[in-house]
Amino acid sequence: MSIQQGRIDVHHHVIPPAFVQTMMRKGITKVAGALLPGWSAQKSIAVMDANGIQTAITSLSAPGVHFGDGVQQAQDLARRCNEFSAEMAVSYPGRFGSFAVLPTPFTAAACAEAQYALDVLKADGVVLLGSTEGVFLGDPAFDELMAELDRRQATVFVHPNMHATSDSLGLSTPGFLVEFLCDTTRAAVNLILTGTLSKYPNIRWILAHAGGFLPYVAWRLAQSEALTQMSEQELLAAVRRFYFDTALSPSRYSMAALKQLVEPSHILFGSDFPFAPAPITALQCHTLDRSPIWPVVDQYGINRGHALQLFPQYRLANEQVRAAPIFINESLPQRVRRALTGPLATVAEHIRKR
């Protein structure tokens, strides 16, 4: 199917064979309590086509590429994953971009891989975990990497990880439900309070899952002038520098909070596929499309236009602003599959509310 002016998904995971092999060798079958899903590029394409996603900028999820075996293992796995993503982008022109994974917490190796991925593989940016081995973004240990990314005016997608303290809580709830959001929030607050955000002003930051709890605690953070040299206005301005994706957070509650806090131009569509399986991806799109929060122009922006400000390479020739994706040259089965997306999402929403 040819899609004109479809969604750009900034939170879409790739699960390369090298990553799966490493997980299996370590006996790890879950990511933050969620089973590692079966995935292929073809499965991504099918879900993208069914939901009007023209381009997915892929990233590796937690736990990243460091499995406790030292810098060489992490470096080798990062390189294999990044080259896999680059090859996928070539095999499916216009459908995939990538955020390159870096072998953190090894700063020198991470700098070298960032250079290779951005310069040679032409990655769209990098993905960094909120914390690695307990060290959060904003820690001085990452200053060399921050300086490298700042020089390149890089886009950084911040994805949560499971912190050791989250693992030791003993709660029966899976980590992806609450603890992931804590990791993103802690990383974002640390980036602000350590001055990292202001020290490296050329980095564009995208926070996963609508920023975790950051929108909810923004006012509390703004009153923390005693912890920093920043005023209330400067602290809020720092919060508003972040971009926020909608992955698993499309409800009117989350969107209303973001609308009050940040400019709509800082809100981007994200699906979290395949960890958010196909029906949940459809439900997210359905929920956003029917949201009373956003006027038509902002809906287009969230779906596509805002991402083009960060990634203009995906702009189509003579592109015009549209309220929603336009599908052309669909076969009958493709039209049927897309037509069913709305009803299936409605049923899923009804079940969820019971």
Each residue's pLDDT tens digit, 162-176: 998 988 988 999 999
Whether the CB-CB separation of 122 and 86 falls below 8 Å is answered with yes
CB atoms within 10 A of CB 76: 15
Residues 60, 167: Cα–Cα separation, whole Å: 20
Question: In 3D, which of 274, 277, 245, 282 has the Cα closest to residue 20?
Answer: 274
Task: Kindly report the average pLDDT of the chain as a whole number.
Answer: 91
Question: In 3D, which of 91, 77, 114, 96 has the Cα closest to residue 14?
Answer: 96
- Beta-carbon contacts of residue 146 (< 8 Å; ≥ 6 apart): 196, 199, 200, 203
Question: Which position has the higher pLDDT, 339 or 188?
Answer: 188
Question: In 3D, which of 184, 194, 203, 179 has the Cα closest to residue 224?
Answer: 194
Each residue's pLDDT tens digit, 59-86: 999 999 999 899 999 999 999 999 999 9
Going along the chain from its start, the domains and CATH numbers come out as 2-353 (3.20.20.140)
Each residue's pLDDT tens digit, 256-284: 999 999 999 999 999 999 999 999 999 99
Tell me what pLDDT residue 322 has.
64
Interstrand relation of 30-31 and 34-35 (parallel, antiparallel or unpaired): antiparallel
Each residue's pLDDT tens digit, 117-150: 999 999 999 999 999 999 999 999 999 999 999 9
Each residue's pLDDT tens digit, 4-46: 679 999 999 999 999 999 999 999 999 999 999 999 999 999 9
Tell me what pLDDT residue 325 has.
60
Each residue's pLDDT tens digit, 277-310: 999 999 999 999 999 999 999 999 999 999 999 9
Whether the CB-CB separation of 281 and 47 falls below 8 Å is answered with yes
